[in-house]
Amino acid sequence: MTLPMIAVRGQLLQNASLKKMSRLGVGGCADYLFTPEDMDDLVTFLRKLPDDIPITVLGAMSNVLVRSGGIRGVVIMLGSWFKNIYEENGILEAGAALSCAELSVFAVDHNLGGLEFLMGIPGSIGGAIRMNAGCYGAEIFDILQEYESITPDGSVKWVKANQVEHGYRYTNLPEGHIITRAWFKANVGVDYSISRKLHEIAEARRNSQPLDKRSCGSAFKNPAGMKAWQLISDAGCRGMRLGGALVSEKHCNFIVNDGNATPEDIEKLGEQIIEKVYDKFGIKLEWEIIRIGERSH
């Protein structure tokens, strides 16, 4: 496909590889990759983009697997302008491209509590809101007050968190809407050591997860009242391998790139896990990793 001439101040690349941006170190190319300079640049681009050109928004790609055939249309990734962060009276304003860990550290530095769990979420603020990411007993919608987004036609909207239907790793946010910033409520004057709690969460991650390997974090959602890793382990999948894809020995709900995996290796290994767990327990695991793009021919 060919994109019409649109003047931008940011970066617009054709046939752009997404492999290096992926946490898994795999993936095909985007027809076009647009990184806007700022909010005005993004709005202008969207208003001039023809309606028949598909848009895909990617953040830190911490839970995204891009198939080898790549992504048609335009991929939008927010840049440094969307990583700003401010605080006033316990309300934190954060750009959607800011990492969850950076927001957590900022809160600690300002003696604000309630955001420590974000240290355990490897993605960006925008992606975490879209999937209601969480860990260690907390979810991002527990602290989210409001977010700003841009619609595919370039309109800007502000949405209160209590207007969004959400649940475990789920929201009903409209597809194609690009989250650009958000506001969070922190706890002021907490009666515990915020920095100690943050350190404990970071230490727990290091001890329980294969952080030295390329992965997208948890591959599968936890079924109600159960742990996906336990089902995977009990089904005999710990250490399973397909090509360069490996079920982590350290945390078997992680599928890691052991050096030369392809997107197909990772996805096929995941499907084998789903089949083995279902055959043993009658429970069908649901992917937590978002798999997008076309399969190679």
Active site residues: 169, 218, 288
Percentages (nearest 5) of helix, strand, coil residues in the chain: 30, 30, 40
Residue 92, CA distances (Å) to 95, 197, 226 in order: 10, 19, 34
Element containing residue 108 per DSSP (H, E): helix 100-109
Tokens of 184: 């969070």
Question: 3-class DSSP state for residue 283?
Answer: coil
Helical packing angle, 194-208 and 100-109, nearest 10°: 150
Question: 3-class DSSP state for residue 157?
Answer: strand
Query: Is residue 101 a contact partner of residue 119, using CB atoms and an 8 Å limit?
Result: yes
Hey, what's the torsion of the CAs at 16, 22, 24, 29, to 10 degrees? -20
- Name the phi and psi angles at 34, rounded to 5: -115, 125
C-alpha gyration radius of the chain: 20
